[in-house]
Structure 1
Amino acid sequence: MLGRDDQLIGINAVRIVDLSEHPRSRYRRMAFITAFGVEEIERRRGYGTALFDHMRKWSSEEEVDLISLNVSASNEVAQAFYRRMGLAPRSVQMD
């Protein structure tokens, strides 16, 4: 994502997984967010929301049924952001 003066201020990387061959899967295609972030100095200006909305629209065009990602349990800011975007926790992993 480019901001003022064509500076890179955000990134989003998504891997689409085709699950159509798996008979027990509830989803045909899943988008797994492998990277998502906005430069700290540019946060709270709507860039993250715009980037997420664009990714959601693109995912819909790619006929994705589910958007998924992993977030560190200690990253409460990211968890709150994803909740605002409409995502909900599905599982907790402990090491």
Structure 2
Amino acid sequence: MSDDLEYVETTTDGQGRGVHIRRAEARDIPQLHKLLREVLEVHHRGRPDLFNTGVTKYTDDELAGIVSNDETPVFGAFADDDTTLYGYAFCVFERHEDSHILTDVTTLYIDDICVDEAARGRHVGTALYRHVLDFARGAGCYNVTLNVWSCNPGAQAFYERMGLTPYKIGMEQVL
């Protein structure tokens, strides 16, 4: 939605190399799959009763559709070479235009965020999250939301450090 936020220098990777954030493209699909598998494995380890292992979340065609759709922007944190993907944030614009109970605001929902295990501790996640916030502000969003699994306390702690607070809580009773 906001072209001026497509390419932004954000941080270094801890080894003096620059990291920049840009919209993901079809050429990034193989690396997106790699990081999507990392996230799936984290969830599988935490909840093997709910999450499969060894599968892909999307097909190549589905990913191509997602990265090319302005309603589902995907941002990648890349090394200076513009090909090495350190992390990503999959986002979705949400609106409740015809709701009788919800106000008509635009939310940028972070569907998935990941930093490659090899790049953790280098502030890549912070740079990605701040970029998403700037993008959401530029797009006129009211808020940014996401879900975090309780089996991933490291992610929850990161989101709290970024300033996120709970706004609803999902609960379950396994039968």
- TM-score scaled to structure 2, two decimals? 0.50
1:14 aligns with 2:59: no
1:2 aligns with 2:78: yes
Q: Which whole-Å CA distance do the structure 2 matches of 1:19 and 1:73 have between them?
A: 27
Q: In the TM superposition, what is the alpha-carbon distance from 1:21 to its structure 2 partner?
A: 3.3
Of 110, 117, 125, the match for 1:33: 110
Q: What is the SS of the residue equivalent to 1:2?
A: strand
Of 123, 126, 134, the match for 1:49: 126
Q: In the TM superposition, what is the alpha-carbon distance from 1:23 to its structure 2 partner?
A: 4.3
Unaligned runs of 5+ in 2: 1-76
Q: Percent of aligned pairs with the same residue?
A: 29
Q: In the TM superposition, what is the alpha-carbon distance from 1:22 to its structure 2 partner?
A: 2.5
Change (3 A) 1:83 1:62: same
Hey, what does 1:66 align to over in structure 2? 143
Task: State the AA in 2 paired with 1:69.
Answer: L
Q: In the TM superposition, what is the alpha-carbon distance from 1:4 to its structure 2 partner?
A: 4.6
Q: What is the SS of the residue equivalent to 1:9?
A: strand
Equivalent pairs counted in the alignment come to: 95
Q: Which whole-Å CA distance do the structure 2 matches of 1:27 and 1:33 have between them?
A: 19
Larger Rg: 2
Structure scoring higher RCO (CA < 8 A, sep ≥ 6) equals 1
1:81 aligns with 2:162: no
Q: Which whole-Å CA distance do the structure 1 matches of 2:104 and 2:86 have between them?
A: 32
RMSD between aligned residues: 1.5
